[in-house]
Structure 1
């Protein structure tokens, strides 16, 4: 009886310590975001004076109105949506088909194909050769320079391959007996059974394309083709014509808005991801767990 009481007490201590650590971790992670949110609704004078922390000071929405009236911002925002949708669609098509093929142990050359994929995790051509390749293919200043170079994530590929390997084989064998070919099995049997994994991979790829600015920085020269993350990067860096254009579009109050215009742009940029994540979060943990289980 005393031992049972001791185990119960130890369990309670364990839960309490874990809960405390998780709360502290959440506070540390949320603090920067809440601070930026407060700055976006505060006056430039209050921000410069260091008065803004977790709550807005001298509440105003003038900067939001100025940024949202900026045509360049919305054009770049639309570019980001386009790059994310097209890039994620291509990436999912390639990743699911490649992973399903690699999951078949009877496939000739399977180990070679896996080795080629894994090799790219550790070695790549380098920045200059990649730029020369994209330029020689005529993809600079095009959509394809953004969506194709990172179309397949090897990490996502291996996770999905592991998931496909552990799907029940009896289902595929029954489908073959009923006359379905490999394409039918993949499209009508495997994919519907993989909703959690697919949702997880879609989230991974969407966040990747949404947040990426470096490829656009390398391969895009035209301002009208920039994603919104590059627009934001230029605002923060203050070193490009996009920054000047973004500031000039705010009108005569630019000097007063310049301090918190970056915070406003950050908030507007991150909103779509925050809106999408709650709907796929329930698939996220289960998808990763399913893709990492080894039988």
Structure 2
């Protein structure tokens, strides 16, 4: 049975749709401008003719980006950091959140207090740098993985989800002789798929987009992740790596702005392609806190 809405409710829904549509447009327009510029001719970019649609369609910028070995080296580094970092993040998050969700754990309140303390009072930059240096992690990918191995906020989200799982299921499994590891891997984790997928996406996007840690800990060009490569290209105007193939590709219609836009788009698309495959679990995971008490 469909409930008839009042005029005020219809007006509220309409204003919500218009407002959210406007916000989506505000977010989407810069991306469309970058995409249009990357597919436009040099002449169109120079004369500022490009808005949100390519002018004089041109793929030469992408050809030149694909020929750039420095870009693909940074791309590979980012993939390695994202995969290893996310795997470590999820492992530590789960093995900390699950036992802390058990009311019978001795010292549970003390451990939670210490964990929350680190979230409120984080280490300053200079001490963090010296810790990384003292462990010999400078100019290694581990400097971009180990210091951010656990997000306390994400761990608390996972802890909250575990705490709201039916304890009766765990008690029944213990009666049947299942160990705590079996309960975790065969019951708790399958039931927690929405929050696990959500946290995996949070961690992966964080690693993929992180450039500040690389800016501090990485000085070797061969170890630059993709975002540091983009920072070097855009903020510092360093196009030397891209222009290294200029003699071979002199006939291509490219420009510094077009190359930057094409590189940004190629660097952004991979992480965007993941979302459609996990959208169902992601939405459920982000909403679970509002429907479970």
Q: Distance in 1 between matches of 2:246 and 2:134?
A: 39
1:247-266 correspondence to structure 2 within 5 Å: 247-251=243-247, 253=250, 256-266=254-264
The answer to whether the 8 Å contact 1:163/1:292 transfers is no
**12, 17, 40: which is aligned to 1:14?**
12
Q: Distance in 1 between matches of 2:150 and 2:127?
A: 19
Match of 1:84 in 2: 82
Match of 1:278 in 2: 276
The worse-fitting range, judged by mean Cα deviation, of 71-80 and 7-16 is 7-16
Provide, for residues 172-199 of structure 1, a one-character-per-residue CA deviation record: whole Å limited to 9, x for no partner: 0011011111111111110011111111
Q: Secondary structure at the match of 1:191?
A: helix
- When you count helix as a share of all residues, which structure comes out higher? 1
Q: Distance in 1 between matches of 2:184 and 2:106?
A: 19
**201, 205, 208: which is aligned to 2:206?**
208
Match of 1:225 in 2: 223
**145, 148, 152: which is aligned to 2:146?**
148
Evaluate the alpha carbon distance shift between residue 55 and residue 153 of structure 1 in structure 2; reply closer, same or farther with a 3 A threshold: same
1:24-43 correspondence to structure 2 within 5 Å: 24-43=22-41
Match of 1:135 in 2: 133
Instruction: Report how many residues are paired.
Output: 289
User: Please, what TM-score do these two structures have when normalized by structure 1?
Assistant: 0.93
Root mean square deviation, CA, Å:
1.8
Provide, for residues 87-126 of structure 1, a one-character-per-residue CA deviation record: whole Å limited to 9, x for no partner: 0000000001111111111212111211222112221221
Q: Distance in 2 between matches of 1:283 and 1:65?
A: 36
Q: Distance in 2 between matches of 1:250 and 1:133?
A: 42
Match of 2:171 in 1: 173
Please list every run of 5 or more consecutive structure 2 residues that lacks an aligned counterpart in the other structure: none
Match of 2:97 in 1: 99
The worse-fitting range, judged by mean Cα deviation, of 243-252 and 276-285 is 243-252
Provide, for residues 149-175 of structure 1, a one-character-per-residue CA deviation record: whole Å limited to 9, x for no partner: 111111111111110000000100011
1:44 CA displacement:
2.5
The answer to whether the 8 Å contact 1:159/1:292 transfers is no
1:293 CA displacement:
4.8
1:238 CA displacement:
2.4
The answer to whether the 8 Å contact 2:38/2:262 transfers is yes
Evaluate the alpha carbon distance shift between residue 168 and residue 231 of structure 1 in structure 2; reply closer, same or farther with a 3 A threshold: same
The worse-fitting range, judged by mean Cα deviation, of 254-263 and 123-132 is 254-263
Match of 1:109 in 2: 107
The answer to whether the 8 Å contact 2:41/2:253 transfers is no
Please list every run of 5 or more consecutive structure 1 residues that lacks an aligned counterpart in the other structure: none
Q: Secondary structure at the match of 2:240?
A: helix
The answer to whether the 8 Å contact 1:67/1:250 transfers is no
The answer to whether the 8 Å contact 1:247/1:258 transfers is no
